[in-house]
Amino acid sequence: MKTSSILFFGSLALLPFPVFGEETGSLANIEFGQLASQLGATTVGENCRYKKLDLTKIESDDFSSSNHFIFNQDKYAGDWSCINLKAHIKDDSLKDCTPNPSDVFQLSPDSPLKINGKEGYRAGGIPILNTPALKFNMPYQYEVSKDKENNLNVTVKIHFTGSILKDPSNKALVQVQLDKAAEVWSKQSPSGKMKFHFLSVEASEKPDFKVELKPKIHAHLYNSTWDFELFKAGYGANTIAHEIGHMMGIPDEYDPFRDDIWKVHNEVDSRRCNTRGMMCNSYVKKTYPYYYYLILRRAACALRDQSPSQKETVEKSLDVMSEVQAVTKGPTVDCEPETEAPPKKKRSKFLDYLRRLFQRSKND
């Protein structure tokens, strides 16, 4: 069978993204192979060219033999995109939503669309036994709207808490870094026509998420607790962009259990994902077209499927979700090293990791 692929490097102009503002099509679901190939993923018919473990071995061997130079080429970006796109759609509570990307990127909502759901996160595979990972369902929530210039705006509102915010300079720094993180997403969006807005808001402003900021904690969970040091680190905007990627429904592409506990061979072998991409490696800023499709497809299907009564139900469910949270507590960017290298991660202790798993399970 013929293999189809579209290369990522160079410019997003190479990809077949439509001009925004044209008439939106029927938004009917299409087959995975057609969908994936439009997003630059390498497919063989309806399947990806490699399985995840096979591609991990190929890249791991390249990594070991090339002293990291292979990662400047983004050689297997299309293959990783195929694997991750298929997994993310499968694990989404809105899994039966696969409209044509050419229609999705022409989305033109008349009024803001509130989007919420759950996405599956996988953790716990043991490499020696090659056991499957456990899956935890975690929430996403954001808004999609259109502005006067026909840009598509994606907005995430976060209410930050914590005594560290009593210092006005700390509170100001939070929004500065949120703006930088939003710029990472906006600059690499298809045709540069998706604008991201990450806002620090008060509890009265109906935030999408509530997050407590703490000083110098080892681990953080995107919808619960963050380390305030993220807002001061040189790589912080990239990591914040990664965490808010979760709020927009894109899960980690690495297995945190394997990466923390079963550190092996090299970074690729440990993470088993595309280490050039932001959702695999939170220290880098590179995004891929399928990220944007995953975020927008839900809004497209909301337009396609919602009746007025359904729309009211969705809005009510968002209010309920906020209450539950309060109770439960353009051009591609080159993947060059950051000016301030990220610190080497300390290996988590096993009990610390189990605590984080329990936190995720409790929020499920």
* Best CA proximity match to 333, nearest among 152, 192, 234: 192
Sign of dihedral through CA atoms 254, 152, 93, 30?
Answer: negative
Sign of dihedral through CA atoms 147, 149, 151, 154?
Answer: negative
pLDDT over 70 at 248, yes or no: yes
Coil, strand or helix at 95: coil
Query: Which residue would you say has higher pLDDT here, 355 or 3?
Result: 355
pLDDT over 80 at 289, yes or no: yes
Residue 168 confidence (pLDDT): 95
**In the chain, alpha helices (H):** 32-38, 52-66, 77-91, 101-104, 168-187, 236-247, 256-261, 267-271, 289-305, 308-328, 350-363
Q: pLDDT class for 313, splitting at 50, 70, 90?
A: very low
Neighbours of 146 (CB within 10 A): 18
Q: Work out the average pLDDT over 142-168.
A: 95
Q: Measure CA of the first residue to CA of the last residue in the chain; give whole Å.
A: 41
Which residues, in sequence order, are bridge partners of residue 134? 123
pLDDT over 60 at 287, yes or no: yes
Domains in the chain: boundaries: 3-363
Q: Phi then psi for 30, rounded to 5 degrees?
A: -125, 170
Q: Work out the average pLDDT over 78-102.
A: 94
The burial class, CB within 10 Å (0-12 / 13-18 / 19+), for 183 is middle
Q: pLDDT class for 101, splitting at 50, 70, 90?
A: very high
pTM of the model: 0.78
Contacts of 353 (CB under 8 A, 6+ apart): 256, 257, 260, 261
